[in-house]
Each structure stands twice: as C-alpha cells, then as structure tokens.
C-alpha cells in the first residue's frame, strides 16, 4: 500500500520552492526578496514593494515610472461592474462583496485569463493590483450607503484609496500625509507572508490552471476566517469587549481556561515577536497622535494586555507574542475604518503577494497540480444494502 506522511495543517511540509519571502520564525525575521520588512516599511512605498515582489528587484527610477503608469492605467472598473454591487443586500459584509466581486473580474477582463501567456499574466497582475482598492472602496461605500468615488491617478496608491473611501460629494476631501503614510505602511506590512493559508489557497487553485482572478477570489475567501485575516476584526472586537484595564485579568483567565483565544496573539511560524507587529505598534502611535486619540482607551487595554501576556507562563511557554493584527485594528479604526473593513484592507494589500506567488508557481517548471493524499479512516469495503433491509 502507499505510505503517506500525515501532516495535519502542513506544519512540516514545504509545498513549493520560492524566491519571494523568507521568514525565520524563531528569530522574528521577515525578508521580501532579501530586504528586511522594517526597512521596506520605513523607507520604501507600497507600489515599490509591489514591483519588488513581482519582479525580484527594486525598480530604478525609469522602471518605477513605467510600473506606476501600468498600475494607474487600470484603476477604473468597467462601468457595468458598478451594477454588480447593487445585487448585494445593502448591509452585506464588505468581505462577502469582495469574494464575489473579485471572482467576477474574470467575466469583465476575460482577455487576461489566459494563464499560458506571460504578457497576459503580467497584465492580470497589474489589473488586480490597480483595481483592488477601487473594488474595496466601493464595497465600503455600498456598506455605508454613500455614492461611489472614482479613482484619481495623480494621487499615490494609498492616498487614492483613502480618498475613494472617505471623500463625499458634499465637501472637499483633503489628504493628510501622516495618515496616507500610515495606510501605505499598513499595506507594505501585509503585502506578502510566504505560504500562509490564503496564499497556499491561491497556489492550490492556480495549480489546476484556473484564471488568476478566480484564484485571488479563492484567496480572499480563505483570508476571511478569524484565524487568518479575520483576526484584526476579532482583535478589535476583543479589545472593545474587554473595554477597561481592570477587566484584563478576568479575560486572561478565560483564555487560560480555553474558553476563547487571545486574538492578535500567536502565529504558526513566529515563535518570537512578529516583526510586523513592531512597525504596526509604532504606526499606531503616529496615527493616534495625529487624529488626537492619544488616550484611546483601547490602546491602553492593548498595551496592558500585551504586558500581562508577555509575562504570563501560559503565553511564555507556548511562545505566544503579538502578531501584526494586534495593533492594526486600533490603527485602522483611528484612520476611520469600521471593523468590517479591516480584512478587506488586508486583502487589498495581500493581492500583490497572492499574484506574485501565483506567477512564480505558473512559471516554475516543477509545477504540478496540487493534489494531497490522505490517511483513510472510514469503513472498509462492504456491499450495498437495499433500503427496506437497513
Ligand atoms: N490565545 C490563546 N492560546 C493560544 C493562542 C491564542 N491566540 N494561539 C495559540 N494558542 C495556544 C493553543 O491553545 C495551543 O495550546 P496547547 O498546546 O496547550 O493546546 C498552543 O498555543 C498552540 O496553538 P495551535 O493552535 O496549535 O497553533 P497554530 O500554529 O495552529 O495556530 C494561530 C496559529 C495564528 C491560528 C493561533 O495562534 C491563533 O488562533 N491566534 C489567534 C488568531 C490570530 O491572531 N490570527 C492572526 C495570525 S497573523 C495574521 C494572519 O495570518 O492573518
């Protein structure tokens, strides 16, 4: 009989070779194409990181200008696409809209669904990076009951996105450089993270030759779960539920009694402080200062909860540290987003990672359809029994 390695959750199975992202979970190191995440977050821009992830090198000035043009060229959506949103219930969760709308891109941009053509692969990458903020902002506007705002290509990627989310026809919208920078940084921090559940989903879906829009829609569906991208929404809900610092010990006891998990804590790979969480914490302070919420009670709860958890045996023994989602919720809330949008923002930023990984897989000569095996534990062979004899 065949013998298979049983590895639930793939904790020790490498499903592919990749040159994109390196993680050392014990040391808390994250590198994209060799560059440390904190350097990229502090010194680069999201679009530059997109180029780096897709092409393997940082762009020179001419390459960047061309790339920026390729992205802004595709920021608008087909006019009929807007009607697609109207089919959703008006209170639809924006992630539900994202799963449907991104899958629908394959119907609107059918010309770039040919996965065998390298030029079309690149166009579909540009299209998705360009259109994702427009779709996400529309999901938000629909949820809010406000009119859609069209993209403005002279603005940066992050500023255009914030404008599409927060501008209303009744007043002029003015960007704020501190908040734009924070949005850009949050996107850099979420751009890629090697073979996480949603990225593995994208690769799995793509391994059959499915088109990239459909693959990214599958990735979004996976990202939605509270153990993955849904954690930022859950982390903020948790901090709100705790509410005040005096209620933390009781909450921590509930975690130890295994009644619930501490959201925004723990990671499959990091057994040390998530390097993204460090940058996120700093960004959180900057945004709270800028919007005048320095004394945000939820930040107090978060800081105290982190302190208690990092000194508690339960968390120390299991090497549970804050992950990127612990501070992202407070930051996004201060930027003006409701919790329902948090995972959507994660999806906007992770799109480049998904598509870079999808491209790498398609272009890998060793690529095969993903087809795991199983250990069968069901009934042995037996004969069919007619209904009156059961
Ligand atoms: N709170 C309390 N206990 C925890 C937590 C937590 N957040 N995470 C893990 N544990 C405990 C778990 O109960 C288990 O204890 P024991 O060995 O006594 O049974 C031990 O730690 C190992 O847990 P695991 O579930 O086997 O670990 P995993 O690698 O399968 O899970 C995780 C990783 C991220 C799903 C998990 O840590 C978790 O559920 N965290 C909360 C959700 C979260 O913040 N997710 C965001 C991850 S980072 C961004 C992203 O990828 O989207």
Nearest atom within ligand 1 for CA of residue 229:
52
Q: How far is the CA of 224 from the centre of ligand 1 (A)?
A: 16
Are 16-227+340-362 and 231-335 equal in CATH topology?
A: no
Nearest C-alpha to atom 35 of ligand 1 is from which residue?
227
Please count the CA atoms within 13 angstroms of the CA of 351 that sit on its side-chain side: 28
Is 264's pLDDT higher than 80? yes
Is 113's pLDDT higher than 90? no
- 16-227+340-362 under CATH 3.40.190.10, yes or no: no
Is 60's pLDDT higher than 70? yes
Q: Using an 8 Å Cβ cutoff, are 134 and 151 in contact?
A: yes
Active site residue 267: yes
Nearest C-alpha to atom 28 of ligand 1 is from which residue?
268
Average pLDDT (286-309) is 90
Angle (CA) 263-267-268 rounded to 5° is 135
Average pLDDT (245-264) is 94
* Structure confidence at residue 112 (pLDDT): 78
Nearest C-alpha to atom 34 of ligand 1 is from which residue?
267
Nearest C-alpha to atom 17 of ligand 1 is from which residue?
318
* Structure confidence at residue 336 (pLDDT): 95
Is 159's pLDDT higher than 80? yes
Q: How far is the CA of 356 from the centre of ligand 1 (A)?
A: 27
Binned at pLDDT 50, 70 and 90, residue 105 comes out as very high
Q: Please measure the distance between the N-terminal and C-terminal CA atoms of the chain and give it in whole angstroms.
A: 32
Sketch the domain layout of the chain as residue ranges: 16-227+340-362, 231-335
Burial class (CB in 10 A: 0-12, 13-18, 19+), 190: buried
Is 389's pLDDT higher than 90? yes
What whole-number distance in Å separates Cα of residue 44 and Cα of residue 96? 32
Nearest atom within ligand 1 for CA of residue 261:
1
Binned at pLDDT 50, 70 and 90, residue 318 comes out as very high
How much of the chain exceeds pLDDT 90, in percent?
89
* Structure confidence at residue 320 (pLDDT): 93
Q: How far is the CA of 369 from the centre of ligand 1 (A)?
A: 30
Average pLDDT (212-240) is 93
- 231-335 under CATH 1.10.230.10, yes or no: yes
Binned at pLDDT 50, 70 and 90, residue 100 comes out as very high
Q: How far is the CA of 263 from the centre of ligand 1 (A)?
A: 8
* Structure confidence at residue 3 (pLDDT): 81
Helices marked H in the chain = 37-43, 46-55, 61-72, 79-85, 94-108, 118-144, 157-166, 177-190, 197-206, 212-223, 231-242, 248-256, 275-290, 297-310, 313-317, 325-335, 342-362
Nearest C-alpha to atom 29 of ligand 1 is from which residue?
268
Q: Residue 21 belongs to what H/E stretch? A: strand 21-24
Q: DSSP assignment of 27-78, as one string?
A: TTEEEETTEEHHHHHHHS-HHHHHHHHHHSS---HHHHHHHHHHHHTT-S--
What whole-number distance in Å separates Cα of residue 40 and Cα of residue 284? 17
* Structure confidence at residue 174 (pLDDT): 94
Read off the DSSP letter of residue 244: S
pTM of the full structure: 0.94
Q: How far is the CA of 227 from the centre of ligand 1 (A)?
A: 8
Active site residue 26: no
Q: Across all residues in the chain, what is the average pLDDT? A: 94
Nearest atom within ligand 1 for CA of residue 264:
44
Q: How far is the CA of 261 from the centre of ligand 1 (A)?
A: 7
Nearest atom within ligand 1 for CA of residue 269:
29
pLDDT in tens, 15-55: 999 999 999 999 999 999 999 999 999 999 999 999 999 99
* Structure confidence at residue 35 (pLDDT): 98
Q: How far is the CA of 207 from the centre of ligand 1 (A)?
A: 28
Is 98's pLDDT higher than 90? yes
For residue 93 the two structure tokens come to 């969760």
Nearest atom within ligand 1 for CA of residue 193:
51
Nearest C-alpha to atom 51 of ligand 1 is from which residue?
228
* Structure confidence at residue 227 (pLDDT): 86
Nearest C-alpha to atom 2 of ligand 1 is from which residue?
261
Q: Could you tell me which of 360, 47, 83, 307 has the C-alpha nearest to residue 194?
A: 360
State the catalytic residue, choosing from 267, 274, 293, 383.
267
* Structure confidence at residue 29 (pLDDT): 96
- Ligand 1 pocket, CB under 6 A: 9, 196, 227-229, 231, 255, 261-268, 318, 320, 323-325
Q: Using an 8 Å Cβ cutoff, are 126 and 73 in contact?
A: yes
Range of weakest confidence among 210-219, 259-268, 375-384: 259-268
Is 70's pLDDT higher than 90? yes
State the catalytic residue, choosing from 184, 192, 296, 325.
325
Binned at pLDDT 50, 70 and 90, residue 1 comes out as low
Out of 232, 255, 266, mutate this one to test ligand 1's pocket (max ligand atoms within 8 Å of CB): namely: 266
Average pLDDT (120-149) is 96
């Amino acid at each position: 009989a065949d013998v298979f390695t049983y590895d639930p959750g793939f904790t020790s199975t490498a499903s592919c070779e990749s040159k994109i992202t390196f993680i050392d979970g014990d040391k808390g190191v994250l590198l994209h194409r060799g560059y440390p995440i904190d350097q990229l977050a502090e010194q680069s821009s999201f679009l530059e990181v997109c180029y780096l992830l897709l092409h393997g090198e940082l762009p020179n000035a001419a390459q960047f200008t061309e790339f920026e043009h390729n992205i802004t060229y595709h920021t608008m959506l087909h006019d009929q696409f807007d009607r697609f949103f109207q089919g959703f219930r008006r209170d639809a969760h924006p992630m539900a809209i994202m799963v449907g709308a991104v899958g629908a891109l394959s119907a609107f941009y059918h010309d770039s669904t040919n996965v065998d053509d390298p030029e079309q692969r690149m166009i579909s990458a540009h299209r998705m990076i360009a259109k994702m903020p427009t779709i996400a902002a529309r999901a938000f506007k629909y949820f809010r009951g406000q009119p859609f705002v069209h993209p403005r290509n002279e603005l940066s990627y992050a500023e255009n996105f914030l404008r599409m989310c927060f501008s209303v026809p009744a007043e002029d919208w003015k960007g704020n450089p501190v908040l734009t920078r924070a949005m850009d940084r949050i996107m850099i921090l979420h751009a890629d993270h090697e073979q996480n559940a949603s990225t593995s989903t994208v690769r799995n879906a793509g391994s059959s030759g499915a088109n990239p829009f459909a693959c990214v829609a599958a990735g979004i569906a996976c990202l939605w779960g509270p153990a993955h991208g849904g954690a930022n929404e859950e982390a903020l809900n948790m901090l709100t539920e705790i509410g005040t610092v005096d209620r933390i010990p009781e909450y921590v006891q509930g975690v130890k009694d295994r009644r619930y998990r501490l959201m925004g804590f723990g990671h499959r790979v990091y057994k040390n402080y998530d390097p993204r969480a460090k940058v996120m914490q700093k960004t959180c302070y900057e945004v709270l200062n800028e919007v005048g919420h320095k004394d945000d009670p939820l930040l107090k709860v978060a800081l105290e909860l982190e302190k208690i958890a990092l000194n508690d045996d339960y968390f120390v023994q299991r090497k549970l540290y804050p992950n990127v989602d612990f501070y992202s919720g407070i930051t996004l809330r201060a930027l003006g987003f409701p919790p329902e949008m948090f995972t959507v923002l994660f999806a906007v930023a992770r799109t480049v990672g998904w598509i870079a990984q999808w491209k790498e897989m398609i272009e890998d000569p060793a690529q095969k359809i993903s087809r795991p095996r199983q250990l069968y534990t069901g009934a042995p062979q037996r004969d069919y029994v007619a209904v009156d004899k059961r």
